[in-house]
Amino acid sequence: MTQRPAAIIIGAGLAGLATALRLGEGRQYDPVLLEREPEPGGLARSLHLSGMTTDLGPHRIHTVLPEVRRLIERLTAPSLMCVARTSHIYLRGKYLSYPPAPLEMALHLGPLRMARFMAGFAAGRLAPAPAEETYESLMRRAFGGPLYEFLLRPYSAKTWKIDPAELHADTARVRVSAGSLAKMVSRMLRGEREGEETSLKHFHYVRGGAEALVRHFCDEARAAGARLELGRSVAALELDEAGRVRAALGAAPPEGGPPERHPGELFISTAPLPLLLGEMLPGLPWLAEARAAAAGLRYLDMILVFLIVRRSALSKDQWLYFPEPHLIFNRGYEAKNFDPSLGPEDRTILCLEITVQRGDALGRETDEALVKTATAQIAATGLLAEREVERGVVYRLPYAYPLYTLDYAERLRHALDALRRIPNLITTGRQGLFNHNNMDHSIYMGLRAADLLNSLPAEEAVARWYDGADDFKTMRIVD
C-alpha cells in the first residue's frame, strides 16, 4: 500500500480533531495530531474532583450550522441530551431572571430608573453613528446611555479588563447577544425565531461532560486513520529553502540531543497566533512585521475557581451572571444542572469564572487567596454559606479569549498576510484565527480547512483559506 503524505496538526482541541477527522475521511493524507497536554480537547475538557465531574467552562451545544449539527448528532447519539436553560443575574443585591425581564427589572430598580433607561434608549436610536464605530459607541446607541452606564459599561470593563471605549465594535457584533431594549421587548411579545436568538431556551449537552464529546471525536478521527500523540509539544517549525514547512520540532530534551522531529507535507496549527509567529516560526526578515503585529494581539486568561459544596444543588440554573464590579468573578455555573449524573446527591460543584490579562494583580494571587475571596463573596450574595464549602480548586487557562482592541483587525491582517506566504501551513481555530467563537464554530473551522485541503492542491487550498478567513467573523455567539 502506498503511504500517504502526513498532515501534521498542532493541537488536539475540537478544531484540530475536526480537521483530523475530515482529512482522514478524505484518504489523501495521514493526519497526525500533536497535543502538548496529557489529554485531548483543548478548552473542551473536564475535571474530576471529589468524585464529581465538571467542565473547564460550560460547554453546552447549540449550533445553527447544519453540517456541525449533523456531525455532533451522528457522533454522540444516544448520549446527546436536551436541557431546558435557566439563568439568573445578580444585580443590586438580588438574583433576577436572565435574560432580563423588563417588568421584573422595573419592580426591582424602580419606575423612575426604568423611565430613564427608556428615554435614553429612544435618544440612542436617534443618534447618528460615528465615523469610526467602537464597542462603546455601538452599545450606547443600541441600549441608550443610562442603561449602558448603569450596567453594561461596568460589566464590560470587568469582563474584558479594559476601558470599553478601547474595544473594537466587533466585540459587540459577535459577542453581545442580548440585543437592545427593543429586542428585549420584542422577545416578550412574539418570542424568538430560529437564527435570531439572543439567548437560548434549550440547548444540548453530551452526557458525561465535555470530555465525552471529545472522546467521540477522538474515536471517529482514529477510525478515519488519524494518529493522536499526547504530551507532544511543538517548539518550532522547520522551513526548507523554498519557505515550506518540512517538520514540526519538539522541545530539546533536558538530557541533550536533537529535539523530536515530525516531518510532513501539510501543517495545520491551532496554536495562538503570538506563539505561532513569535516562537514556532524562524526569525526570518520577511516575517518580522507579522511577528510584531501578532505580539500585539491580546488574549484574556481565565481563572476557574471550583467550589465543592456540601449540598445537593445550589439552584436550578446552569449560568449565573455577576456584573457587580466588587465581585471578582464574572459568571458561575453548576455542572449538575447540565447533567445530573456528574455528581452525587449530597454534593455539587460551583465554578466561578474570573478573567484576567496577563500580569494583572488578580492573576498573581495565590490559589488559596482566590478560593478564600471567591468563597466569601459568593456567600455574601446568599447563594451558599461559607461553612458548606468543603474545599476549593483553582484552574488557570491561558489564551482563553481573544481581546478585540481597536487595532486588532489591522494586526490580524498583517499576521495572516504573512502566513499565507507559507504554501503548506494553515492556522485555524479560536486561538489560531484570533476569533472569539463557540465550540461549534471551532469544529466548523476545522471541517472547512480539511475540505479545502482534500479538494485542492495544497498551495491553492492555503490561498483560498486565507482569502476566506474573514468569513468566520460573521459567526454569532448566542448565550
pLDDT at 199: 59
CATH number of 101-192: 1.10.3110
Q: Which residue has the cell 486565507?
A: 466
Q: Which residues contact 286 (CB under 8 A, 6 or more apart)?
A: 418, 421
Q: Per residue in 215-238, pLDDT tens?
A: 999 999 999 999 999 999 999 999
Residue 183: per-residue pLDDT: 56
Residue 256 confidence (pLDDT): 78
* Residue pLDDT, tens place only, 318-353: 999 999 999 999 999 999 999 999 999 999 999 999
Percent of the chain predicted with pLDDT > 70: 94
Q: What is the pLDDT of residue 266?
A: 97
Q: Tell me: domain 6-42+210-297+407-474, CATH 3.40.630.10, correct?
A: no
Residue range(s) occupied by CATH 3.50.50.60 in the chain:
6-42+210-297+407-474
pLDDT at 118: 87
The predicted-structure confidence for 141-155, as pLDDT tens digits, reads as follows 888 999 899 989 999
**pTM (predicted TM-score):** 0.92
Q: Where in the chain is the domain with CATH 1.10.3110?
A: 101-192
Using alpha carbons, list the distances in angstroms from residue 36 to 58, 223, 261: 23, 22, 14
| Low-confidence spans in the chain with pLDDT less than 50 | 1, 178-181, 185-192, 195-197
Q: What is the pLDDT of residue 2?
A: 57
